Structure 1
Amino acid sequence: MKKASLLSFASMLMLTACGGGSSDGGVSPPIQPPAPGLKACSNATTLNRVAAGGVTFVTEQNYRAQQPAMIYADLGKDSQGLNYQWRQSSGPQLELVASHSPILSFVPTSAGSYEFELSITGPGTSVTASVAINADTDNANPVKLRQDHQVTSGNAVSLRLDRVQGSTLSAIDWCASGANLNVDLSNNERPLFTAPSVSQDTLVELRASGSHNGIAGSDSAWVLITRESSITSGYFDSALARTFPYHSDSPWAADLKACTYSNQLNSSCSISRLPLLGQTANGMDKQAILDRVLVSHQWMGDNFASFLDTVDANSDFANLLQSVTAVVISYDVRPSFYWVVTGAIYLDPEDLWLTPLQRDTINEQPDYRSNFGADLKFLMPWRYVKDNEYASSIVPRTQRSHRSLDELTPDLASLLYHELAHANDFFPRSIHGSLAGPTLLDDYNKRATAKALTSDRLADLYPLGSEEMRSLANVRFRGQTASDTQKAYVPADVSSFFSNDIASDFYAYSTEREDAAMVFEELMMNYRHGVLRDVAVTDSPANPTASTVIVDWGQRGRIGDDALAQRAAFVLEGIFPEWDGTAIVASLPAPIAMQSGQSWLTNLTISPQGANTRAAVSAKPAAEIPLQFSGDRYARPRN
């Protein structure tokens, strides 16, 4: 890999959007001229200022039960480089999902008094202070806007309005105060914008009004846009969220952010500075793994730790994590990826949330690849199933639901198997002792040049044959313009190309690296969790849903096809050389053919069993579950 291609890859991975102007900060900011599509509020909402222990707490005029709320800690200077730690000291127990931020968001559960303690530390700063607020009873305000938070200048922002009993509010109206914001209101319940450049930390108000059943209301979300150091990184060349080590006392705490998620990173860190987990004496220890976790929110590390505790009984993930330097979980990572430049795995927390308030902290900016291949006449949906039901717990953003660790396991496990397959393809445990450096990138380049990676050898020994599928992958996953020939392909053409080849998934044609990762992901989900992957070729109607797309060809559990057995065993033994890949692959169930001419939904119940043996975990009826398409969970294909 050349540096130029890495820079391009980095810029595509990071969330980007159009910028805006700047303004002075302040609690009651001056009204700015509205950006197109968004008016300025006629009056900025008045906030209180309460001085205590060297901190000025900026509080709302009124707090009410069940209404989203905030407290902002103002030190009279920018918050960059400071560490914040909030904790609740009295009152009914609340869920605090952003306890390391200058702005504390919370929802009072009932009327009463609440007190919070804040510690702020950093260069020249050591402050501890407390603030108390009183919440009145719920006044049935139908407008609830989520959620108040801090964002770095140049980073993406999303907010969301609650629905009331499943219904959209009527007469939704938006305004803003504090900065000139170019807001995307194409979805009137979910404003999107890029935090503008600011010369100092600036508090911005977005206000929504609406009504439900004739009852009108309004609510404001407060977004603290923080000034950050200028971006000098050629790798991370767009704004990143603030992150912190999950274990503050980690021996790697000083290097995690600098080496894996920094706008000042200009070269790969040396192996001696941040080695792979497997190169350390205690790398398999859970605490050692958590010492390498970098998060934007505490709950992300908590949930990841719980996942390792409850799901990884066979130590699959502990072993696979030996080939990474760090695990970065941040609200602005979308989609998940592994990157050889840093040796880290980057996780989209959408696969980790357990509560609605946790999910509120995750940015909703859409994937930049959403329209790739829109002029092709076929689709290739996928899903994981178990006992003729969706294995995933798919919850729409408009529904405020909790979920269990069991419910998030299929999505998170499959994602980890995929991304950690890349790490173990590049740096298998068998070579950790011979890595010469000085950086992992140097070792990767040597191995790639020598065609020594498992994915290289897979392509050499068991190559994919369909050039048509390879070219179509460039359109669907890289955004290349479709040729007239490709535009003319009908589902039957694509079914012939794909079904007669030995790829496990369409995404396998994007690169040799993704081919190996898709094989490993599907195999492990089948072998360890009894979860089967469906893949199909369908038509592409104007409104594609599970009920409207018609299957031309499809299989459940394709990884168990005899035609794929040798390559599946080869990949498995390349990553887990201590396993008998041939025996494990032979134990997998034979694939099940889908019913041509039937919808994707109808083909959900093709497994040969009289009745479902477990309750469905999906939070929606199967007919309403959104389609997922090949490659949609993964970052731009790697070279």
Structure 2
Amino acid sequence: MKQSLGWALLSMLMLSACGGSSNNDGSSDTVVTPPVPTTGLARCTNPTELNLVSTDSVVSFNLESQYFSGQPGAVIATIDNSNVSDYRFNWSQTAGAALILKSVKSPVLAFTPTQSGSYSFEVTASKNGVSYTETIEITVANASSNSIAARVDHQVSDGNSVSFRIDTNSSLSDITWCVAAGPDVDADVSASEQALFTAPSVTADTISILRATANLNGASVSDDVLVLITKEATITSPYFEERVAKTFAYNQNSPYANAIEQCVYSNQLQQSCSIDTLPLIGQNASINNKQAILDRLLVSHQWMGENFEYVLENLDPNSDFATLLQSVSAIVISYDVRPSFYWVVTGAIYLDPTDLWLLAEERDTINEAPDYRSGFGNDLQFLMPWRYVKNNSYTSYTTPRSVRVDRSAQQMLPDLASLLYHELAHANDFFPRSVHSSLTGPTLLDDYQRRSNDSALISDQLVNFYPLNSQEMVGLAEVSFRGESATSTQESYLPADITSFFSPDRASDYYAYSTRREDAAMLFEEAMMSHRYAIQRDVGITDKPESPTASSIIVDWGQRGRIGDAKLENRAAFVINQMMPELNGSAIISNLPEPIQMTQGQSWSNNLAISAATNVRLNSPQARTSATETMVVPPLRFSGDRHIKPVN
């Protein structure tokens, strides 16, 4: 994309990342981002000083004064008279009881020792073919019976968001935060167990330390948590105007390592890279070549790449994801991506690692910066909730972040699968494999614009052959998803009116009316979830009480498995046949279960048990790997909430 393009066009194309949609009239989705309450944290009475250990090379180690078993700790490597961002790091443990290490590619090695003793680590710092390897030893003492744990020590680019959390229990009270070292910090501590802030600008790599203090069983306890704020180059990208996390190619030997590091998630990205530099995966690789996919993987943490590789090798038996990934240029998984999206400007898919973690230590590394979604439609008098279910049970795995547990791959899969089907449907809508050989560039954006101008996208053809009929729902979608002001007529609509508009039409979900791109993606997502996993999507129309909960909203109309409705059959089959022609879309849709009607007048929660249960539920105790897990009912989800990307 040339820099001379006007900002209006630039804004439209940037916002086409919001769930992969692109508005047909050139306007863009916007999202209200409420202000984050912040406070300038006080300085701690007793500051923290780290021990600096020099080596014979440019590498130095910053150590905590004491390490305790059961409490998070860190060793920070810094480079003398240079910024760590210029180097690549790789850590390994060389002595001591085995630790779970999830930041081995970062200058900050975070860990939680389970027992006392001596531990040794080796780190290699590399730059431009020159490497320095050093070792460091620490001693871990037994912890006091009264202690708290603040997580997680890590590196962050200046201007990027930071989140810290303490492990909570019912005995903790009077939690406060203060700055124990480093620059002043304005933080959101409205939820006292969390500290959320934007890393301040620094002139050189700087270690910031926050201290959490609380009352535990009548005693004052505290723990320090460290973040290395790294000095980064000035932001020059017209696309990534806010600081993004440091990422690296999962496969450093990939022929596309440099291209993906420069072309898809960089604050220095000036324009779309050419398809000669970064083509779609399917333009020069076979579907069964999973290594070709991993060669396009960009991550902020090594575990994210490892888990994604596990998904491809073990959780994709029909190669659906490998096939659909042929239509992307790269896969980005970073701790600061939220929500997931596909973006035509780079041709990449961006994944929120919340759908990929398996160990509590992995979840610890994911940033908890607030994820504000659309606040539009507040003047409307209806809600349209949704959920995925199997055997009358939710399939979404939900535990509070404060409960540190592991989860199994099977518990991770439903949310991840539905996400991948949706976002990759956007990529295949724009660039199905049938057009790969005819793409001429010079960029994917150029090809997209030509295809869009010719109404050649799959979603364009869907609307041409099988259009949606309800103009009332189209107008309401403008209010709910794009911020238009509701008219007095729209404000007067009751749930029964919405039922009369939506139920006889051919959309699978309210969000389908936001753009034709989302229409196609919603059809594909729901159809594939039902076909591959026998997981069905519930959609409903309810009233709108002041504080809606699953038990307080009352269903006026609802369906389980709407994708199996005869009215939707031709539309869903068409999308499947165009995106995955090796499948028989008509046969798939005709074999899906018949929709089940919800009971009018009952609550959303009471309409959960409306189908016969025949299989073991995905989240059953038999399927779990951790005996300490705590399952809770997922929060209410509303149409479009998973895919609307916040925009400033």
Please give the range of the TM-score, normalised by the shorter of the 2 chains.
Answer: over 0.9
Pairs within 5 Å for 1:166-565: 167=170, 169-176=172-179, 177-282=181-286, 284-565=288-569
Pairs within 5 Å for 1:71-90: 71-76=75-80, 77-90=82-95
The corresponding residue for 2:48 is 45
Per-residue deviation, 1:238: 1.0
Asked if the contact 1:7/1:234 (under 8 Å) is kept, the reply is no
Name the CA shift for 1:16/1:293 in 2 (closer, same or farther; >3 Å): farther
Per-residue deviation, 1:568: 0.6
Asked if the contact 2:17/2:342 (under 8 Å) is kept, the reply is no
Name the CA shift for 1:283/1:565 in 2 (closer, same or farther; >3 Å): closer
Name the CA distance, whole Å, in 2 between partners of 1:8 and 1:122. 38
Asked if the contact 1:98/1:105 (under 8 Å) is kept, the reply is yes
The corresponding residue for 1:634 is 643
Per-residue deviation, 1:637: 10
Q: Which amino acid is the alignment partner of residue 173 of structure 1?
A: T
Name the CA distance, whole Å, in 2 between partners of 1:617 and 1:331. 29
Name the CA distance, whole Å, in 2 between partners of 1:240 and 1:87. 26
Q: Which amino acid is the alignment partner of residue 480 of structure 2?
A: R
SS in 2 for 1:129: strand
- The 10-residue stretch of structure 1 (80-89 or 35-44) with the greater mean CA deviation from structure 2: 35-44
Q: Which amino acid is the alignment partner of residue 503 of structure 1?
A: A
Cα deviation 1:31-89 (Å, max 9, x = unaligned)? xxxx8452122232121112224222111111111101111112122112210111111
For normalisation by structure 1, the TM-score amounts to 0.93
Q: Which amino acid is the alignment partner of residue 98 of structure 2?
A: Q
Q: Alpha carbon RMSD of aligned pairs, Å?
A: 2.4
1:118 matched to 2:123: yes
How many percent of aligned residue pairs carry the same amino acid?
A: 54
Asked if the contact 1:17/1:193 (under 8 Å) is kept, the reply is no
Name the CA shift for 1:7/1:356 in 2 (closer, same or farther; >3 Å): same
Name the CA shift for 1:334/1:9 in 2 (closer, same or farther; >3 Å): farther
Could you tell me which of 151, 159, 181 is aligned with 1:146?
A: 151
SS in 2 for 1:206: strand
Cα deviation 1:209-252 (Å, max 9, x = unaligned)? 00222232001111111111111111111101000000111111
Q: Which amino acid is the alignment partner of residue 49 of structure 1?
A: L
Could you tell me which of 625, 631, 635 is aligned with 2:634?
A: 625
1:133 matched to 2:142: no
Name the CA distance, whole Å, in 1 between partners of 2:14 and 2:73. 36
Cα deviation 1:192-221 (Å, max 9, x = unaligned)? 111111111111111110022223200111
Name the CA shift for 1:322/1:515 in 2 (closer, same or farther; >3 Å): same
Name the CA distance, whole Å, in 2 between partners of 1:402 and 1:338. 28
For normalisation by structure 2, the TM-score amounts to 0.91
Asked if the contact 1:356/1:401 (under 8 Å) is kept, the reply is yes
Per-residue deviation, 1:189: 1.4
- The 10-residue stretch of structure 1 (559-568 or 492-501) with the greater mean CA deviation from structure 2: 492-501
Cα deviation 1:272-309 (Å, max 9, x = unaligned)? 11111111144531111101100000000000011111
Asked if the contact 1:246/1:293 (under 8 Å) is kept, the reply is yes
Name the CA shift for 1:492/1:620 in 2 (closer, same or farther; >3 Å): farther
Name the CA distance, whole Å, in 2 between partners of 1:168 and 1:474. 47
The corresponding residue for 1:29 is none
Asked if the contact 2:327/2:433 (under 8 Å) is kept, the reply is yes
Asked if the contact 1:70/1:104 (under 8 Å) is kept, the reply is yes
Name the CA distance, whole Å, in 2 between partners of 1:239 and 1:11. 17
SS in 2 for 1:602: helix
Name the CA shift for 1:568/1:505 in 2 (closer, same or farther; >3 Å): same
Name the CA distance, whole Å, in 1 between partners of 2:309 and 2:566. 37
The corresponding residue for 1:596 is 600
- The 10-residue stretch of structure 1 (552-561 or 484-493) with the greater mean CA deviation from structure 2: 484-493
Name the CA shift for 1:370/1:66 in 2 (closer, same or farther; >3 Å): farther
Name the CA distance, whole Å, in 1 between partners of 2:618 and 2:349. 33
Q: Which amino acid is the alignment partner of residue 63 of structure 1?
A: Y
SS in 1 for 2:411: helix
SS in 2 for 1:89: strand
Q: Which amino acid is the alignment partner of residue 467 of structure 2?
A: P
Count matched residues: 620
Per-residue deviation, 1:149: 0.8
Asked if the contact 1:10/1:236 (under 8 Å) is kept, the reply is no
Q: Which amino acid is the alignment partner of residue 631 of structure 1?
A: G
Asked if the contact 1:48/1:61 (under 8 Å) is kept, the reply is yes
Per-residue deviation, 1:480: 3.2
SS in 2 for 1:546: coil
Name the CA distance, whole Å, in 2 between partners of 1:479 and 1:38. 35
Per-residue deviation, 1:178: 1.4
Cα deviation 1:522-549 (Å, max 9, x = unaligned)? 0000001111001111222222222222
Asked if the contact 1:117/1:130 (under 8 Å) is kept, the reply is yes
Asked if the contact 1:37/1:185 (under 8 Å) is kept, the reply is no
Name the CA shift for 1:459/1:282 in 2 (closer, same or farther; >3 Å): closer
Could you tell me which of 158, 161, 164 is aligned with 2:163?
A: 158
Asked if the contact 2:17/2:344 (under 8 Å) is kept, the reply is no
Name the CA distance, whole Å, in 2 between partners of 1:209 and 1:353. 28
Per-residue deviation, 1:361: 0.9
Q: Which amino acid is the alignment partner of residue 584 of structure 1?
A: I
The corresponding residue for 2:626 is none
Name the CA distance, whole Å, in 2 between partners of 1:376 and 1:94. 52
Asked if the contact 1:88/1:115 (under 8 Å) is kept, the reply is yes
Cα deviation 1:533-566 (Å, max 9, x = unaligned)? 0111122222222222221111100000001011
Q: Which amino acid is the alignment partner of residue 52 of structure 2?
A: R
Which runs of no fewer than 5 residues in structure 2 stay unpaired?
19-30, 622-628
Name the CA distance, whole Å, in 1 between partners of 2:34 and 2:469. 42
Q: Which amino acid is the alignment partner of residue 72 of structure 1?
A: I
Name the CA distance, whole Å, in 2 between partners of 1:433 and 1:131. 53
- The 10-residue stretch of structure 1 (132-141 or 452-461) with the greater mean CA deviation from structure 2: 132-141
The corresponding residue for 2:100 is 95
Per-residue deviation, 1:370: 4.8
Per-residue deviation, 1:495: 1.9
Q: Which amino acid is the alignment partner of residue 393 of structure 2?
A: E
Name the CA shift for 1:517/1:548 in 2 (closer, same or farther; >3 Å): same
Name the CA distance, whole Å, in 2 between partners of 1:321 and 1:98. 27
Name the CA distance, whole Å, in 1 between partners of 2:447 and 2:142. 62
Name the CA distance, whole Å, in 1 between partners of 2:256 and 2:15. 26
Asked if the contact 1:336/1:635 (under 8 Å) is kept, the reply is no
Asked if the contact 2:507/2:519 (under 8 Å) is kept, the reply is yes
SS in 2 for 1:96: coil
Name the CA distance, whole Å, in 1 between partners of 2:219 and 2:378. 42
Name the CA distance, whole Å, in 1 between partners of 2:32 and 2:476. 26
SS in 2 for 1:49: strand
Asked if the contact 1:169/1:212 (under 8 Å) is kept, the reply is yes
Which runs of no fewer than 5 residues in structure 1 stay unpaired?
21-34
Name the CA distance, whole Å, in 2 between partners of 1:548 and 1:142. 40
Name the CA distance, whole Å, in 2 between partners of 1:592 and 1:18. 38
- The 10-residue stretch of structure 1 (135-144 or 249-258) with the greater mean CA deviation from structure 2: 135-144
Name the CA distance, whole Å, in 2 between partners of 1:603 and 1:327. 38
Q: Which amino acid is the alignment partner of residue 311 of structure 1?
A: L
